[in-house]
Chain A
Amino acid sequence: MEDAVNSASMGLLPDGQDVPFSDIESTMAQLAREGRRRKGGPARALTATVVVVGEPDRMAEAAEALGLLSEAAGVRTILISEGQETAPSARVTAHAIGIAGLAPRFLNNAVAALRLSSLPTAVWWRGGPAEALQEIAHLADRLVIDVEDPARAWRVVGSIVDETAVTDLRWGRLTRWRSIFAHLYDLPAVRHARVRRLSLTASDPFAARLFAGWMRAMLQWSPDVAIHLVRADAPSKWPIESVQLEADGVDITVKTGSGHPCLHATIAGKETSTRIVPLGNGALKAVIGEELAVRSRDIAFERALDAALEVPAWP
């Protein structure tokens, strides 16, 4: 067990230094001083703590995504993989801490001890028991849920929204989709049309439900508006492949482009017109970087999630 924990820890921060938990702060300060001396630059201002919690096999990807972020943005990164250890060793660099195999019940204690005081703390939740999620919420200014099956985590959200600004990483990935529909809603023909049906083709059922929940909540649709989710034929880089909105006198189809990462919107009615907008950088680093910068409560997400819980999964 000990060997497995150490190798996981080294995988997280290959250039780091192994230290007992009690020596983390002093070692980081020393490494930061040495780094400044080598580079000859001034100390960088610190802006936030980012805590990543999850299963060991999802931590390396997160560490890579946050690597540049911590260096560039003055962020202290704390990577905690879950296990059964009650006295785990840690591996540190000047900006990051890796703790492998920590028992979930001590998660909030570790974060309370290691987060930067007086600065915001964001938690990137990549897996773990729902109880631990609930406990860590009061230490977080921002909580980003990023798990494959968020059903359990989503049920916890209602009880923590008053403590932390919670979101799901899917919500961030849907921003461009939401944005283009918000744009199109400015068109009088769209705004005044009575919607009959929303169809989504997606590789991620939860993203599809969240999007449908958002439309339903924001536009105050009655149950008469049919919502139809379709499973995509193959896995995709994008959570949703296409959205079709059928309304009286106008049909809108928005789908991902085949070449560059773009969204193609077609508005068919009296006149047919198209829009092409960039889909943005779907890379994990870009999406999480944007989400972690947010500090305020997202009421639109909360309303969308409430409604999404009522949207049936695909058959």
Chain B
Amino acid sequence: MDVSATNPLLDGLRIEPTPQPTVLVIFGASGDLTNRKLLPALYQLARGQRLPAQFRVLGVARTSWDDEAFRAHFHESLKTFAGLADPDEVSKALASDLFYVGGEMDDPALYARIASKLAEPGWPDGVLFYLAIPPTVYKQVVSRLADATLVKPRVDNGWRRVIVEKPFGTDLASARELNRALHRYLDEPQIFRIDHYLGKETVQNLLVFRFANGMFEPVWNRRYIDHVQITAAETVGVERRAAYYESAGALRDMVQNHLMQVLAHVAMEPPIRFSAENVRDRKLDVLLSIQPLQSSNGDDRTPLDVVRAQYTAGWVNGAEVPGYRQEEGVKTSSLTETFVAMRLQLDSWRWAGVPFYIRTGKRLPKRTTEIAIQFRRPPLHLFKRVSPTSISPNLLIVNVQPDEGISVRFEAKLPGTRMQLAPVMMNFRYGSAFGRAVPEAYETLLLDAMLGDPTLFARHDFVEHSWGLITPVHEAWAASGATEIPAYEAGEWGPREADQLIAADGRRWRTL
């Protein structure tokens, strides 16, 4: 064996794998995402020795900073978002690898300065560009990078990758256009479309749970599963994102990306092997099997099985909160939906006849994201005469956040001489079961991008098909001429119409 071709010292090393030498270039280095998520994630990766042997960060933004100002910002970020009151040796060492270049994103001179920095001696030729900037400038930045020949490596073993944040487009046409624009300069394997839900431990664990255990997959189909409910509930309102949210709404903000990815993990067929392309092919199959959400009845463009709503003033987390239209930056006549509920039908052998109910909203009573798989009841209620209570159907609940884990609900006999039944829950929690901290999603995703593993990133065709499902709904809403949409009081679980949507099938939303 030629030991110089690979790194045998990595064999069996539990702190693995580590990326090749890397420069991380962050566009939007002075922005909120960098401050809250990226810099703390880099520190945690450094603490865990997950960063490459040679590693540099080049911050890029309009703010007039120099290297020292960026480093001071880094320490402030760790103080606020990583709980590091004072710099330690790790943060100091990492700070010394932080550099900064300021300028306007459309100025070619900025890219010349970046190129000059990257060409300095000792800087690796593996470069990961992170676009933590508004989507409106993605195309411009990538084309400027290409003009400055920054998207092609200088040496044979170099590489260039680009992480693109959500939202990736605002509808099918814009997503296609953005993909075309990126593909003009980059190959698909160079593009990493980030969806932080995919970095969550429980979402990744869904694949392990389903495909590394023999007992679940045989019942994971229409014969045994009655329906699936996916809930992503937030207690917060629109906060400081009114400008973005007004043009996005819950359907674009949550369903098109996060919840479609979650749905794909629940419903996908087993991949032939655990490789990025195989996993992403099977996820795409799920989207291809979803029946259109638009009415197929002539000119009727009413969205089928979709309910939208907006929160009004109410009470959440122990305090009174204003309605959506009273939030700063929101139009008083806004029709932007802060809540969506929908029923999806998958036209596949495995899932025919099994509805997938999705709901997501802001200002709901509690913050939680979960997938609830409800199984069919037993064919015969054997204990009907002796037990006064009805049998609850079995439930398998995957908690995505905040308390990541899996619970199973099943019926058990209550202790006593009578045959009385009661549902019990069996819980597995990531926070306690393994006695170790669960990494933040951005740590996982940053590392994967440095390693060049795109499994947990969205592929261009997934993004486009997801928009292909959602865009007709937006078009139908726009064409409806509605001047009002259903409302729900902040602190409640959505509007009455959402209850009616599921009640029409003889079912009800889970009480969370």
Please list the residues of chain A having a beta carbon within 8 angstroms of any beta carbon in chain B. 42, 44-45, 47, 69, 72-74, 175-176, 178-187, 191-192, 215, 218-220, 257, 259-260, 262, 271, 273, 275-278, 289-290, 293-294, 298-301
| Apart from the given pairs A186-B54, A187-B54, A220-B3, 9 other A-B contacts in the complex at a CB distance below 8 Å | A45-B426, A176-B49, A191-B4, A191-B7, A218-B9, A262-B90, A276-B92, A277-B93, A293-B436
Q: Which of B1-34 contact A (CB under 8 A)?
A: 1, 3-4, 7-16, 18, 20-21
Q: Considering the chains assembled together, what is the distance between the CA atoms of A311 and B54 in angstroms?
A: 32
Q: Considering the chains assembled together, what is the distance between the CA atoms of A8 and B14 in angstroms?
A: 37
- Are A175 and B13 closer than 8 Å at their CB atoms? yes
Q: Which of A42, A180, A185, A293 contacts B7 (CB 8 A)?
A: A185
- Are A179 and B13 closer than 8 Å at their CB atoms? yes
- Are A186 and B7 closer than 8 Å at their CB atoms? yes
Q: Which of A186, A219, A273 contacts B3 (CB 8 A)?
A: A219
Q: Considering the chains assembled together, what is the distance between the CA atoms of A289 and B47 in angstroms?
A: 18
- Are A178 and B13 closer than 8 Å at their CB atoms? yes
Check A219/B8 contact, CB under 8 A, given A45-B433, A72-B432: yes
Q: Which of A73, A215, A257, A301 contacts B89 (CB 8 A)?
A: A257
Check A299/B14 contact, CB under 8 A, given A186-B52, A260-B88: no
Residue of B nearest to A267 (CB): B53
Q: Does B316 contact A (CB under 8 A)?
A: no
- Are B93 and A276 closer than 8 Å at their CB atoms? yes
Contacts of B432 in A (CB 8 A): 44, 72-74
Check A175/B15 contact, CB under 8 A, given A45-B428, A180-B49, A219-B3: yes
Contacts of A45 in B (CB 8 A): 426-428, 433
- Are B21 and A72 closer than 8 Å at their CB atoms? no
Please list the residues of chain B having a beta carbon within 8 angstroms of any beta carbon in chain A. 1, 3-4, 7-16, 18, 20-21, 46-47, 49, 52-54, 88-90, 92-93, 121-122, 425-428, 432-436
Q: Considering the chains assembled together, what is the distance between the CA atoms of A179 and B433 in angstroms?
A: 26
Q: Considering the chains assembled together, what is the distance between the CA atoms of A277 and B13 in angstroms?
A: 16
Residue of A nearest to B17 (CB): A182
User: Distance in Å from the Cβ of A141 to the closest Cβ of chain B?
Assistant: 16
Q: Which of B4, B53, B436 contacts A275 (CB 8 A)?
A: B53
User: Distance in Å from the Cβ of A88 to the closest Cβ of chain B?
Assistant: 30
Give the number of residue pairs across the A-B interface with Cβ within 8 Å. 104
- Give 30 A-B contacts (CB < 8 Å), ordered by A residue: A42-B425, A44-B432, A45-B433, A47-B433, A72-B432, A73-B435, A179-B13, A179-B49, A182-B7, A182-B13, A182-B16, A183-B49, A186-B54, A187-B21, A218-B8, A218-B9, A218-B11, A220-B3, A220-B8, A259-B89, A273-B122, A275-B53, A276-B90, A276-B93, A277-B93, A278-B49, A289-B435, A289-B436, A293-B434, A300-B13
Q: Which of B4, B8, B433, B435 contacts A192 (CB 8 A)?
A: B4
Q: Considering the chains assembled together, what is the distance between the CA atoms of A219 and B2 in angstroms?
A: 9
User: Distance in Å from the Cβ of A188 to the closest Cβ of chain B?
Assistant: 9
User: Distance in Å from the Cβ of A244 to the closest Cβ of chain B?
Assistant: 16
Interface residue SS majority, chain B: loop
- Are B9 and A185 closer than 8 Å at their CB atoms? yes
Q: Which of B12, B47, B121 contacts A278 (CB 8 A)?
A: B47
User: Distance in Å from the Cβ of B360 to the closest Cβ of chain A?
Assistant: 28
- Are A187 and B53 closer than 8 Å at their CB atoms? yes
Contacts of A187 in B (CB 8 A): 21, 53-54
- Are A69 and B435 closer than 8 Å at their CB atoms? yes
Contacts of A44 in B (CB 8 A): 432
Q: Considering the chains assembled together, what is the distance between the CA atoms of A42 and B435 in angstroms?
A: 18
Residue of A nearest to B425 (CB): A42
Contacts of B52 in A (CB 8 A): 183, 186
Contacts of B11 in A (CB 8 A): 218, 299-300
A72, A183, A185 — most chain B CB neighbours (10 Å)? A183
Q: Considering the chains assembled together, what is the distance between the CA atoms of A262 and B16 in angstroms?
A: 19
* Shortest beta-carbon contacts, A-B, top 3: A300-B12, A182-B9, A276-B93
Contacts of B428 in A (CB 8 A): 45
Residue of A nearest to B92 (CB): A276
Residue of B nearest to A187 (CB): B53
Contacts of B49 in A (CB 8 A): 176, 179-180, 183, 277-278
Residue of B nearest to A217 (CB): B8
Residue of A nearest to B18 (CB): A183
- Are A219 and B89 closer than 8 Å at their CB atoms? no
Contacts of A183 in B (CB 8 A): 18, 49, 52-53
Contacts of A262 in B (CB 8 A): 89-90
User: Distance in Å from the Cβ of A16 to the closest Cβ of chain B?
Assistant: 22
- Are A299 and B435 closer than 8 Å at their CB atoms? no
Q: Considering the chains assembled together, what is the distance between the CA atoms of A120 and B186 in angstroms?
A: 48
User: Distance in Å from the Cβ of A204 to the closest Cβ of chain B?
Assistant: 20
Contacts of B427 in A (CB 8 A): 42, 45
Residue of B nearest to A265 (CB): B53
Contacts of A175 in B (CB 8 A): 13-15
User: Distance in Å from the Cβ of A256 to the closest Cβ of chain B?
Assistant: 12
User: Distance in Å from the Cβ of B71 to the closest Cβ of chain A?
Assistant: 15
